[in-house]
Amino acid sequence: MTNEKMVTAITSMEDDFAKWYTDIVKKADLIDYSSVRGCMILRPYGYAIWELIQKQLDERFKATGHENVYMPMFIPESLLQKEKDHVEGFAPEVAWVTHGGDEKLSERLCVRPTSETLFCEHYANIVQSYRDLPKLYNQWCSVVRWEKTTRPFLRSLEFLWQEGHTVHATAEEAEKETIQQLNEYADFCEKVLAMPVIKGQKTDKEKFAGAHSTYTIESLMHDGKALQSGTSHNFGDGFAKAFGIQYTDKNNKLQYVHETSWGVSTRLIGGLIMVHSDNDGLVLPPKVAPIQAIIIPIMQHKEGVLDKAEEIKNELSKICRVRIDSSDKSPGWKYSEYEMKGVPIRIEIGPRDIEKNQAVLVRRDTREKITANLSNITEEISNLLCKIQRELLEKALKHRKSKTSKANNMTEFKEILETNQGFIKAMWCGSEECENAVKEETGATARCVPFEQEHIGDTCVCCQKPAKKMVIWGKAY
Amino acid sequence: MTNEKMVTAITSMEDDFAKWYTDIVKKADLIDYSSVRGCMILRPYGYAIWELIQKQLDERFKATGHENVYMPMFIPESLLQKEKDHVEGFAPEVAWVTHGGDEKLSERLCVRPTSETLFCEHYANIVQSYRDLPKLYNQWCSVVRWEKTTRPFLRSLEFLWQEGHTVHATAEEAEKETIQQLNEYADFCEKVLAMPVIKGQKTDKEKFAGAHSTYTIESLMHDGKALQSGTSHNFGDGFAKAFGIQYTDKNNKLQYVHETSWGVSTRLIGGLIMVHSDNDGLVLPPKVAPIQAIIIPIMQHKEGVLDKAEEIKNELSKICRVRIDSSDKSPGWKYSEYEMKGVPIRIEIGPRDIEKNQAVLVRRDTREKITANLSNITEEISNLLCKIQRELLEKALKHRKSKTSKANNMTEFKEILETNQGFIKAMWCGSEECENAVKEETGATARCVPFEQEHIGDTCVCCQKPAKKMVIWGKAY
């Protein structure tokens, strides 16, 4: 049975990476466009991936004491303006509601681009004493940012995300929470999405509007571009002062709370695609694959084939998300279809296999074919899913390593971008001038000051004055 | 240990039902108000109830083949206008986005009040052949309706809900789906929310804007008012024609699809409150109680008390959602607190109980005290939770029965509303004139034409001409 490729082929990533990406999101049935500019429809297969991400993240948040809430989607203009840096950062990109029915509103409402201001107002209402602290809230919702240019999952007018917002008695506790949640994200990306990330701090120029410090996880895509995959912010007491969030401490003295926020979004799905997929379509790590194994019956009209396929499905459904495709399409068509959709394991079962009490397993990621004995198919599949999950991470780590370079000066920096675009480690003096100069000359930005610092030289890659930190630079989505 | 009532008492429902209701939603920590008119904040305890509702409904939807998707929250004005009745019904109560950042939009966008138009546009894109049918989609999201007067859970500017939207090849299949989902809602309300409902069809006057027929589940509150708790609509091919959703059938002929939609919302939480709660606060059926059993240690400073409480908690956490409150508040304060929050079972454990290898269980709904042997506490709690769940439904059914009357003429009709407001069964000639007259004279509306028809007379309650159907009337939220 040959692989008929009846599913329309997609653009190869070497020919046109951007086109390859949009081909995959469309042809793997992840999204569809709508008549609303820059807003995408998450189709069942795409949404199922988000549900798996959401479920596993939500369990992690709850395990560390976080509680879910739901805040209004509208923010009155006056409330948005309460924290100066925050409104400056967000006002240019919000959608404004000006009318309710036929009536003009006395005050405009923006559709939330993020909900710091609403959480602050609420915390000011409900926090009185040290006994009320900490409050560890999270919300799952959609937010809107009025972007000029959009790309599915990576940058859209509306997107789904979670935003955690916490308040604490002390600066130390807030910092601890900020780092804890960043570590949670990093662990989730590696263990669940098989997507390695670099943890670090954003420079002042790149930090969140209103934050004291912003931490980030940065991942590297196939094309050598960086993707900011999640952020965690420590607000210090800036918002608390703007919104008057105070508590009486054990000595009966009024104190300001310390606040954090952190979020990841459907952008993670964009990351997944650009880290694992190939020219035949999507490749999904088993832990977020809506279908982990697809059974394709061969010569299914022959007696016993469909029965055996059903039997295997029932057995496997105890340990994984498995389906059987017994439609009247040809096996070759089905092979291409589920390759496009990134199903980790294909199980082929035909009359000759049944005779030999076996099935043929085909890995989506490596195309390796494995003949498996039906007597212990459950164990085989279970082990193979673990193996695929692990090897996808290894492969991504290897890719990142091959695309990570060191630069001592701007000549080297530019050469790397031309020959092997990826992460560039280079020393930095700490001035925003040099940060701007690098961006202007190369298009690369400071992705982060990584927690794991290396000493790769004494002088700034840009000005050659004494260096303070090592920065990871890269062109970014 | 006396019940100290240190938690502020609430207004009694006999004194002021509306105030009793809002006292409960606030004091049981279900919601908080925000500075956005008519929008509520779902606090952790309130949101946890919604999560339990959502999880159990979602499992039911998926078990019958429905898939989740996510549609944009904005609808361009021209898209909303495509189906005439639909836009007339919704345009007066939508929020309009007119600006993105500083720019005025060339076309206004409304924030979705419901998503029929977006689903139609999408279905027109993805449905071509009979092989593509049916499509059984659902989405969990928030919607906005610009209401003048609002009440938490019952009527708010923004609320959370699910909206199912399906397309089918034939009118019969669409009707079957519409009824199937209504039955699913009714079963869910009775089995999970312990809230009995009456299933029926809406009159033409009361049906959904753009629907061919609307079915409803109606429940009865403590105060004798009705709550429309969920609806399921059959659109026939009306939307399909407006949006051009066609497929080629097996004979290669173009046909219009038949469409349905159905939804329930956070309004169900309002229903829960007004069906089960009392003058000490919330009463929750175990299946949607975020905490099903609360352990209150008595004289917790005495050696062994907290250890034993922990031991019981660990045992019980295998079968239910259990917590222990070992804060430094008095047991009496804790009793009132968890009564206010409607926790189904309180478990009191002190030194004397431990000596006797027992604990005292107190039911929230009946206040019944039960001495339970610690050796089989798991079984005791498990059985008691089932019993409470069952008896809450029985009690609600009994209440509904006592508040359901029959009227043969308008004099009787009005007398019932004054003496025993509730559901009124009365015959109807089928004319909108009589329907309007009843509403004008009494304030009661036709809740539904119930599936279970009774013959309680030959003539219309209003005009005394020959009657066609029995209608359930009532004043409604």
Q: Distance between CA atoms of B428 and A201, rounded to whole angstroms?
A: 71
Flag whether residue B76 sits within 8 Å of chain A, measured between CB atoms: yes
Question: What's at B49, amino acid-wise?
Answer: I
> A98 CB near a chain B CB, below 8 Å?
yes
Answer left, alpha or beta for residue A194, where phi above 0 means left and psi between -120 and 50 means alpha: left
Query: Across the interface, do A92 and B101 touch by the CB < 8 Å criterion?
Result: yes
Give the pLDDT confidence score for residue B169 in this predicted structure: 98
The whole-number pLDDT of residue A1 equals 36
pLDDT for B109 beyond 90: yes
Closest to A69 (Cβ–Cβ): which among B39, B41, B74? B41
B34 CB neighbour count, 10 Å cutoff: 20
The pair of structure tokens assigned to B357 is 């290898």
Q: What are phi and psi of A361, to 5 degrees?
A: -100, 135
The nearest CA of chain A is from the CA of B474 a distance in Å of 29
Q: Does position B440 have pLDDT exceeding 70, yes or no? A: yes
Q: In this complex, which of A32, A95, A109 lies closest to B122 when CB atoms are compared? A: A32
Give the pLDDT confidence score for residue B406 in this predicted structure: 97
Joined tokens for residue A181: 């949640």
Query: Distance (Å) from the C-alpha of residue A41 to the closest C-alpha of chain B?
Result: 5
Residues of B in Cβ contact (< 8 Å) with A144? 73
Of B36, B98, B146, the CB nearest to A72: B36
Q: Tens digits of per-residue pLDDT, B310-365?
A: 999 999 999 999 999 999 999 999 999 999 999 999 999 999 999 999 999 999 99
Contact B32 A125 (CB under 8 A): yes
Cβ separation A97–B93 shorter than 8 A: no
Give pLDDT, residue A8.
63
Is A65 part of the contact surface with chain B (CB cutoff 8 Å)? no
For residue B13, the 8-state DSSP code is: T
What was the pLDDT predicted at A85? 83
Minimal C-alpha gap between B70 and chain A (Å): 5
Across the interface, of A72, A75, A76, the residue whose CB is closest to B158 is A72
Write down the pLDDT at residue B1: 36
pLDDT attached to residue B77: 95
Best residue in B33, B96, B129, B328 for a mutation probing chain A (most A CBs within 10 Å) = B96
Nearest CA in chain B to A47: B69
Q: Which pLDDT score, from 0 to 100, does residue B7 have?
A: 52
- DSSP-derived pairing of the beta strands A345-349 and A358-363: antiparallel
A52 vs B: CB within 8 A: no
Q: Which residues are registered as beta bridge partners of B260?
A: B166, B234
A12 touches chain B (CB under 8 A): no
State which residues of chain A have pLDDT below 70: 1-8
For chain A, say whether B39 makes contact (Cβ under 8 Å). Answer: yes
Q: Is A32 on the interface with B (CB under 8 A)?
A: yes
Nearest to A122 among B32, B50, B99 (CB): B32
For residue A120, give the chain B residue with the closest CA.
B34
Average pLDDT (B253-261) is 98
Q: What pLDDT shows up at residue B415?
A: 97
Closest C-alpha to A446, from A458, A456, A432: A432
Find out whether A285 and A388 touch, Cβ atoms under 8 Å.
yes
Nearest to B36 among A48, A74, A95 (CB): A74
Task: Kindly report the three-state secondary structure assignment for every residue of chain A.
Answer: CCCCCCCCCCCCCCCCHHHHHHHHHHHCCCEEECCCCCCEEECHHHHHHHHHHHHHHHHHHHHCCCEECECCCEEEHHHHCCCHHHHHHHHHHCEEEEEECCEEEEEEEEECCCCHHHHHHHHHHHCCEHHHCCEEEEEEEEEECCCCCCECCCECCEEEEEEEEEEECCHHHHHHHHHHHHHHHHHHHHHCCCCCCEEEECCHHHCCCCCCEEEEEEEECCCCCEEEEEEEEEEECHHHHHHCCEEECCCCCEEECEEEEEEEECHHHHHHHHHHCECCECCCCHHHCCCCEEEEECCCCCCCHHHHHHHHHHHHCCCCCEEECCCCCCHHHHHHHHHHCCCCEEEEECHHHHHCCEEEEEECCCCCEEEEEHHHHHHHHHHHHHHHHHHHHHHHHHHHHHCEEECCCHHHHHHHHHHCCCEEEEEECCCHHHHHHHHHHHCCEEEEEECCCCCCCCECCCCCCECCEEEEEECEC
Is residue B1 classed as helix, strand or coil in its secondary structure? coil
The closest CB to that of B39, out of A34, A72, A160, belongs to A72
Tokens standing for residue B135? 């499509």
Q: Residue B44 and residue A122: Cβ atoms within 8 Å?
A: no
pLDDT, tens only, A412-439? 999 999 999 999 999 999 999 999 999 9
> What chain B residue is nearest to A111 in terms of C-alpha separation?
B97
Chain A residue with CA closest to B68: the answer is A44
Cβ of B68 within 8 Å of Cβ of A75? The answer is no
CB contact (8 A) between residue B109 and residue A67: no
Q: Residue A123: CA atoms inside 13 Å, Cβ hemisphere, count? A: 32
Do A377 and A319 touch, CB atoms closer than 8 A? Answer: no
Q: What is the dihedral of CA A284, B129, B62, A276, to 10 degrees?
A: 10
Task: Find the CB nearest B34 among A34, A121, A160.
Answer: A121
| CB burial of residue A451 (10 Å; 0-12, 13-18, 19+) | middle
Q: What are phi and psi of A55, to 5 degrees?
A: -60, -45
What pLDDT does residue B420 have?
A: 95
B370 residue type, one letter: I
Q: Is B412 part of the contact surface with chain A (CB cutoff 8 Å)?
A: no
Residue A67 with chain B: CB contacts under 8 Å: 44, 47-48
Q: Which residue of A has its CA nearest to B113?
A: A101
Mean residue pLDDT of chain B comes to: 96
Nearest Cα of chain A lies from the Cα of B396 at a distance, in angstroms, of 29
Two tokens, residue B342 = 């409607």
Lowest average pLDDT, out of A405-414, B202-211, B399-408, goes to: B202-211
A36, A102, A125 ranked by CB distance to B72: nearest: A36
Chain A contact for B328, CB < 8 A?
no
Domains of chain B by range and CATH? 17-276 (3.30.930.10), 286-392 (3.40.50.800), 404-474 (3.30.110.30)
pLDDT digits (tens, 9 = 90+) for B57-84: 999 999 999 999 999 999 999 999 998 8
Percent of chain B with pLDDT over 70: 98
- Dig out the tokens for B257 from the structure: 């699809």
By the CB < 8 Å criterion, does B158 face chain A? yes
Q: Is the confidence at residue B2, as pLDDT, over 50?
A: no
Q: Nearest-CA distance from B255 to chain A in Å?
A: 23
- Beta-carbon contacts of B17 under 8 Å, excluding residues fewer than 6 positions away, are B222, B223
DSSP H or E run through B254: strand B254-256
Residue B136 has pLDDT above 50, yes or no: yes
What is the C-alpha radius of gyration for chain B, rounded to an integer number of angstroms?
A: 25
Distance CA A466, CA A457 (A): 9
pTM recorded for the entire structure: 0.96
Hey, is B166 helix, strand or coil?
strand
The residues, ordered by sequence, that sit 6+ positions from A179 with a Cβ below 8 Å of its Cβ are A215, A232
A264 CB within 8 Å of a chain B CB = no
Per-residue tokens: B303? 């050696």
Token couple for B60: 């039911």
Q: What pLDDT does residue A92 have?
A: 87
Q: Which residues contact B441 (CB under 8 A, 6 or more apart)?
A: B410, B414
Q: Which has more pLDDT, B431 or B208?
A: B431
- Could you tell me if the ipTM is greater than 0.90? yes
pLDDT at A95: 97
Q: Which residues of A touch B50 (CB under 8 A)?
A: 70
Tokens of B379: 């079984």
Residue in B48, B72, B101 nearest the CB of A146 = B101
Kindly tell me if the per-residue pLDDT of B290 is higher than 80: yes
Structure confidence at residue B4 as a pLDDT band (50, 70, 90): very low
Higher local confidence (pLDDT), A88 or B303: B303
